[in-house]
Amino acid sequence: MPENIAPPTEERIAYLEGLVSQARIAAAVFTQFTQEDVDRIVKPMVVAGLEQAQHLARLAVEETRLGVMEDKAIKNMVATEFVYNYVRDKRTVGCIREFPESGLVEMAEPIGVIFSLTPITNPTSTVLFKCIMAIKTRNAMVFSPHPNAWRCCAEAVRIMYETALKHGAPEGVFTCIEAPTLPDNAYLMKHKDVRLVDATGGRGASRAAYSSGKPALGVGSGNTPVYLEKTADLDMAVVDIITSKTFDNGTICASEQTVVIDDEIYDRALQKFAELGVHICNEAETELLGHTVIDPVKGQMQPMAVGQKATDIARLIGIRVKPHTKLLIAPIQGVGREYPLSVEKLFPVLAVCRAHSVDEALKLCVDVNHQGGLGHTAVIFSRNDEIIRRFGEVINAGRIIVNSPGAIGALGGVYNDLVPTFSFGCGTGGGNSTMDNVNVYHYLNVKRVARRTQPHMWFRVPNQIYFDMNSVENLREFPSRSTLIVTNQALEQIGHVDIVRRALPAQTMVRVLRIPDAEPEVKVVMHGVEALNSYAADQIVALGGGSVIDAAKLMKLKYEFPEADLEELAAPFLDIRKRVVQFPTVKTNQARLIAISTTSGTGSEVTPFAVMTDKARGRKVTLADYSLSPDVAIVDPQFVMSMPKGLTADTGVDCLTHALEAGVSVFASPYTDSNAMQAIRLVFKYLPIAYENPRDEEARTMVHNAACIAALAFSNASVGVNHALAHAFGARFGVAHGRANALMLPHVIAYNAAVPTKFRPSPRQRAYVAHKKYAMIADLLGLGGNTIEEKIQNLIAATEQLLDRLGMPRSIAELGISHEAFERELPELAKIAFDDPSWRTNPRMPLISELTDLFRSAYRGRGPAPETGRPQQQSEVEVCV
Amino acid sequence: MTTNAVWLKVDGERVAESVQEAVAKLDGAGELVLDFSSVGRIDPGAVGALEKLAVAAGEKAVKICLCGVNVSVYRVLKLVKLTPKFSFGV
């Protein structure tokens, strides 16, 4: 609608306002109606439409002088009966669809007042269709028919309105503008109470609708290409094309416009057309047609030809045809402006074009499609599924009709299961918001009620865990042809490797791979993979602390999946179930991984994690996937009896951190809690004893078990912000992991126990409970306290006491790191910690500034070590476990 | 200061008529309370009557309170922008 259209007169505006006012009230009142109410109204409307189909068709032809009365009657019946058949059982009020498995419910919200433009080509059928849609969806509609079809449309609206009113519809639900004008349309398209502009018609109406600034449903013209492929059922194709192209004298915009015919069947096809009453134009006639029925300036069809009979068109331009000629076929040599007849022709003139190959045919169809037909309709006649598929791929059309008439096929419900419609969406190619056959769902706002869903949790652990003194003997139960023991030199020197070697079945060929005792680099992993390949190993025994076991996990991964990219697999993720990078699943080799831990901390023998050093970027990266979990874990304390005091303390603190973090994790569950709490209890009771009396077998056993039990917890509940901080700090300053954890631990407990600045979005988190969990731990340890706050303070004090007793540094400063150096690194440390996946399950979502503050707290530490070894300003807490 | 409040029960089967009758009660009333608790649904006629009532009440400076309005009816009044014209009570 051009912007420069003069506004309607005041009197006319008052008239239009009256229509909208009625519709606005009707739409508001309509919101109270139930599904049963609207269905009770729709059915008699449909019956009324059917009863009046012929009457309305006659009026339409008389007024518009377009089309065929009988065909228009059929269209009116399709618009009522077929549409009703589709909508009768559709829910359009209240809850319209439910997805119990995903907790989603879709609810219908009516639009309100719809301003609807209807075309001259299908006037009454479009009105009948839209009236049914409007009532079914509880909307009010103001109709603006094509100016040359308004009387028949007004009659169709009257019939629908009176029937609807009689059966309970609100007054004013349909109104129709008398003698509508462009100014009327321009005024109403921008009316504040019009909620949707629904324009069915030409491209102009559609563009005006979209440029009105209102939500719009504008659907427009097409230019349907047809590919008549050589394998087609030719008799059927010819009849279908004639049926479609002559239906209502070709006024349906989905009707065939240019038929591209394979060379092999071209002559035969034209002969068949001719036999069935089609006039095949000669070259001169084709040229004449092109210059007369197509506007040479605009390159568009002449309105005077639209909807006229073939014989009338022929007579008008001076072509002699037989009396009952149905259709004029004009052979053209190509598609484009130089071939005028290759455009849309809503009258019984059909262009045909010969193609010498499938490729040429498809290209010609693409050309037609792009000459005003984008997004609309296309037709193919073929028995070759591959060619049909290719046609579907290259043609941009909302309806690709196969082996059926285009016009009636696109209407839906007659030749196929497309949704019956009188409004064809043409997608963005046609400048439309939808490519669908417009139906009830386009006249509704669909509200989605989304219930909280909680992802299912898991508790995954290795198949077999052997524990207690000499449990390594269980290795005998695992037959192996070739076993690679991955360990480090120190463990071999103290005889641990020999113990393992003796425990393996006698027939096993055993090789030993010694690796550095540090988080593995890629080159170490690849060295192991070479060994596994050269020995064709079917079993890996990882004997060592976390680094060795992690290295063995990565070796097994690369051995079984040579294509796996460790760097890529270490990509960050927020939720392990939705991670972008997936671990591979198709194994090439198969090797059992048995992990025997020689420290009591990481629990790597049961975890699905592997920490790898990225030296180039000065960081540690964690790979996480349950496929990394060892197949068998052996928790034999004989391997930790000789562990040095410092290592006992470091690894023990790591174990405690695992348990504490799993305990407050947002992924914590009753399954992980039971393990986390037991591990905390064992650490507080036995770690000081194992540290002070390394040969105490019971204490060693219990701490070793605690490490594994804590790992079972954090394998499933994960860890938290303490680990993120420790990873970043440890990697940058070369501080042992347990020690780095110890520096952060009291500060992190205090941090997590406070009210978060920011809650971490997690459906698992039903309440903020971290402070209560800490209090529960304090109770478990018998630390006393009357309030949650007191209990938390007692837990922090007990933790600090334990750390002091284990000789842990009290601050980062105590490690000899200068304040300047630390502050210099701090921004990067905080960023690295934020990228660390460890905190993703932390109960409190850390802000970068908070991570920075935590690092600073750890730098300042928990005050100078008191002579008593107790933290200052804390009362001594007795641990009762 | 005292106000002369008039209370009227709206017939759920004859909403438009009940509201039209209320217009006659505006004279001398400081406040008119319409009890909608029997009204399940309203039609365009009732909406029209309420619009007229709001205009008349405005001219006579009478406050109109609709009480017992169910949420469906309230929503209709919201959609036709009538809610600012009335106060709502339980």
Query: Looking at residue A386, what is its pLDDT?
Result: 98
From the options 3.40.309.10, 3.40.50.1820, 3.60.15.10, 3.40.710.10, give the CATH code of A224-412.
Answer: 3.40.309.10
> Does the pLDDT value for residue A596 go beyond 60?
yes
Token match 């922090």: residue? Answer: A796
Do the strands A174-176 and B63-67 form a parallel or antiparallel pair, or are they unpaired? unpaired
How many percent of chain A have pLDDT more than 70? Answer: 97
Q: Which residue of B has its CA nearest to A23?
A: B44
pLDDT per residue over A177-227, tens digit each?
A: 999 999 999 999 999 999 999 999 877 888 888 888 899 998 878 999 999
Strands A174-176 and A140-145: parallel
CB A539 within 8 A of CB A482: yes
**ipTM value:** 0.90
Are B79 and A170 a contacting pair at CB < 8 A?
no
Chain B residues closer than 8 Å to A26 by CB: 44
Q: Does A172 touch chain B (CB under 8 A)?
A: yes
Q: What is the pLDDT of residues A396-415, one digit of tens each?
A: 999 999 999 999 999 999 99
Alpha helix locations (H) across A370-480? 385-394, 406-411
Least confident of A490-504, A509-523, B33-47, B66-80: A509-523
Beta-carbon contacts below 8 Å between A and B: 38
> Is B44's CB within 8 Å of A27's CB?
no
Is the CB of residue A425 less than 8 Å away from at least one CB of chain B? Answer: no
The stretch A566-591 carries a mean pLDDT of 82
**B36 vs A contacts (CB less than 8 Å):** none
Q: Note whether A224 and A378 are within 8 A (CB).
A: yes
CA distance B68 to chain A (A): 16
Question: Band of the pLDDT at A875, cuts 50, 70, 90?
Answer: very low
Domain ranges of chain B: 5-89
Q: Give the domain ranges of chain A.
A: 15-219, 224-412, 461-639, 645-881
The confidence score (pLDDT) of residue A9 equals: 95
pLDDT at A872: 38
Q: A461-639: what CATH class?
A: alpha beta
For residue A229, the model assigns a pLDDT of 98
* B44 to A112: CB separation less than 8 angstroms, yes or no: no
Considering only A21-30, A344-353, A619-628, A830-839, which range has the smallest mean pLDDT?
A619-628
Strand (E) or helix (H) holding B89: strand B87-89
Residues in chain B within 8 Å Cβ distance of A171: 43-45
Cite the active site residues of A. Answer: 253
Residues A300 and A343 sit within 8 Å (Cβ to Cβ)? yes
Closest chain A residue to the Cα of B47, Cα to Cα: A25
> Is the pLDDT assigned to residue A427 strictly greater than 90?
yes
Residue in B closest to A171 by C-alpha: B44
Q: Which of A29, A31, A112 sits opposite B44 (nearest CB)?
A: A29
Best of B41, B70, B77, B79 to disrupt the A interface (most A CBs within 10 Å) is: B79
**Closest-CA residue of chain A to B48:** A25
Contacts of B69 in chain A (CB under 8 A): none
Whether residue A879 has pLDDT greater than 70 = no
Whether A18 contacts chain B with CB within 8 A: no
- By percentage, how much of chain A surpasses pLDDT 90? 85
Distance from CA of A854 to the nearest CA of B (A): 52
Nearest residue on chain B to A168, alpha-carbon basis: B43
Pick from A117-131, A493-507, A685-699, A759-773: least confident? A759-773
Answer yes or no: is pLDDT of A878 > 90: no
Question: What's the pLDDT tens digit per position in A284-322?
Answer: 999 999 999 999 999 999 999 999 999 999 999 999 999
Bridge partners of A380? A227, A402
Name every chain A residue with its beta carbon within 8 A of the beta carbon of B48: 25
So what's the architecture of A15-219 in CATH? 3-Layer(aba) Sandwich (3.40)
Nearest to B44 among A26, A31, A112 (CB): A26
User: Residue B73's closest chain A neighbor by CA?
Assistant: A32
A863 — pLDDT class (breaks 50, 70, 90):
low
Q: Which of A25, A32, A171 sits opposite B80 (nearest CB)?
A: A25
DSSP, residue by residue, A217-282: EEE----EEEEE-TTS-HHHHHHHHHHHHHGGGGTSTTSEEEEEEEHHHHHHHHHHHHHTTEEEP-
**Residue of chain A nearest B40, judged by CA positions:** A32
Check residues A621 and A595 and name the one with the higher pLDDT. Answer: A595
Q: Report yes or no: A24 at the B interface, CB cutoff 8 Å.
A: yes
- Choose the mutation target among B43, B73, B74, B77 for the interface with A, i.e. most A CBs under 10 Å: B43
Contact A22 B48 (CB under 8 A): no
Res. A379: pLDDT tops 60: yes
| A165 in reach of chain B (CB within 8 A) | no
Interface check for A575 against chain B (CB to CB < 8 A): the answer is: no
Domain B5-89 carries which CATH code? 3.30.750.24
DSSP state of B81: T
- Chain B partners within 8 Å of A27 (Cβ): 79
Q: Is the pLDDT of residue A605 over 60?
A: yes
- Tell me the chain B residues in contact with residue A112 when contact means C-beta distances shorter than 8 Å: 79
Residue A172 with chain B: CB contacts under 8 Å: 44
Question: Does residue A576 belong to the interface with chain B, where contact is any CB pair within 8 Å?
Answer: no
Instruction: With H, G, I as helix, E, B as strand and everything else as coil, classify residue A535.
Output: helix
Q: Test B47 with A25 for CB contact under 8 angstroms.
A: yes
Sign of CA dihedral A820, A824, A826, A829: negative
Question: Is pLDDT above 70 for A589?
Answer: yes
Report chain B (90 residues): mean pLDDT per 10 consecutive residues: 80 96 89 96 97 96 96 96 94
- Taking all residues of chain A, what is their mean pLDDT, rounded to a whole number? 93
CB-CB under 8 Å, A32 with B76: yes
User: Which tens digits make up the pLDDT trace of A661-719?
Assistant: 999 999 999 999 999 999 999 999 999 999 999 999 999 999 999 999 999 999 999 99
Residue B12 distance to chain A (closest CA, Å): 14
Domain A645-881 has CATH 1.20.1090.10: yes
Is the pLDDT at A857 greater than 90, yes or no? yes
Q: Which of A31, A112, A171 sits opposite B44 (nearest CB)?
A: A171
Structure tokens at A346: 């809503």
Decide if pLDDT at A874 tops 70. no
The strands making up A95-99's β-sheet, listed across from edge to edge, are A95-99, A104-110, A444-450
Mean pLDDT for the stretch of residues A357-363: 97
Burial of A456 (0-12, 13-18, 19+ CB in 10 A): exposed
Rounded CA gap, A305 and A288, in Å? Answer: 14
pLDDT of residue A618 exceeding 90, the answer is: no
